[in-house]
Amino acid sequence: MSVIGVDVGGTKIAAARLGSGYGIEESLVVPTPEGGEAVVRAIADVTARLAAGATDDVAAVGVGVPATIDPATGIVGASNHTGLDGLHARDLLQQHIGLPVHVDNDGNLAALAEHRLGAARGHDDVVLMTVGTGIGGGLIIGSRVFRGGGGQGAELGHVVVEGNGPPCQGNCPNHGCIETMCSGTSLGRDLRAAAAADPGGALGALLAEGRLDSRTGLDLARAGDADARAVFTTAGRWLGVAVASLTNIFDPGIVVIGGGLSAAEEILLAPAREEYLRRALPPTRRAPLVVARFRNDAGMVGAGILAAEEGAA
Ligand SMILES: [Zn+2]
């Protein structure tokens, strides 16, 4: 028996067929088309292609989306450029695919993947943040994914760390959410500011070439550039401020950082850990702050696990 996990992003749809032990047997990546119905057709198409290569039955399909899902209606809430907003994605996909389909928020699925197979194995309570363009979140409480009553819980990127900070992104009306202080978007902003302040430096050179973003900035930080390093250190400290609040609330066994910027590893995590340990309430225990096992394939693997666990239900 195998399952198919699909991760729908703003620019690409990544999907995999997972066999025993959730090993990836085959995977595909296609660009995310424009418009919700085209996205539904693209998901159905990649699923059919992966199912065609299966040597046994495909039990179910899991789909992760960067959006909230109303658990009562299955309707997708505001999403980041996937066009699925307002659609009853599960029912539509089931009609197209002819297999049981389960849809969930991508942060929830990343947390599921880390809990069942990754860095958070063996912990009943887990806080996960995916640091990418923005910050997604997932919570495991009592070994189960916590979604909140309306499916809008665990939006950990919107934990406020600076009440009068920068305006948040997307449909968030708040200011100073952690994703305005430590994300690909905020790092790009802060790296550009550092570059403008020192046009003669390495950051300034990248800015002049039009190549300065969080990835190239990270490369410079890794190479030891002090200015780039300082930007990541400051962002990491803000992340630690958020982690201190989250550990005070949830008392998790572990805190996991995933998403594309988790590739920064200790460049981001060391200052985050230092700040978190300085700020969190005195411990009865201390949750380690670690990098996720699954980075680019967290959504696919988590979606596959969801499909297997929910099955035909
Ligand atoms: Zn926000």
- State the span(s) of the chain assigned CATH 3.30.420.40: 2-111+296-310, 122-291
Helix/strand number for the chain, H first, E second? 9, 12
CA 241 / ligand 1 centre spacing (Å): 15
CA 179 / ligand 1 centre spacing (Å): 7
Q: Which fold has domain 122-291?
A: Nucleotidyltransferase; domain 5 (3.30.420)
C-alpha to C-alpha distances, 145 to 82, 110, 114, 125, nearest whole angstrom: 23, 10, 11, 9
CA 158 / ligand 1 centre spacing (Å): 4
CA 277 / ligand 1 centre spacing (Å): 24
Query: In tens digits, what is the pLDDT along the chain, a chain of 313 residues?
Result: 899 999 999 889 999 999 989 999 999 999 999 999 999 999 999 999 999 999 999 999 999 999 999 877 878 987 767 889 999 999 999 999 999 999 999 999 999 999 999 999 999 999 999 999 999 999 999 999 999 988 889 999 999 999 999 999 888 999 999 999 999 999 999 999 999 999 999 999 999 999 999 999 999 999 999 999 999 999 999 999 999 999 999 999 999 999 999 999 999 999 999 999 999 998 777 899 999 999 888 999 999 999 999 987 6
CA 51 / ligand 1 centre spacing (Å): 38
- In the numeric block, the tokens 């389909």 are attached to 101
CA 79 / ligand 1 centre spacing (Å): 14
Domain 2-111+296-310 has CATH 3.40.605.10: no
CA 165 / ligand 1 centre spacing (Å): 11
Check residue 154 and give left, alpha or beta (phi > 0: left; psi -120 to 50: alpha): left
CA 160 / ligand 1 centre spacing (Å): 7
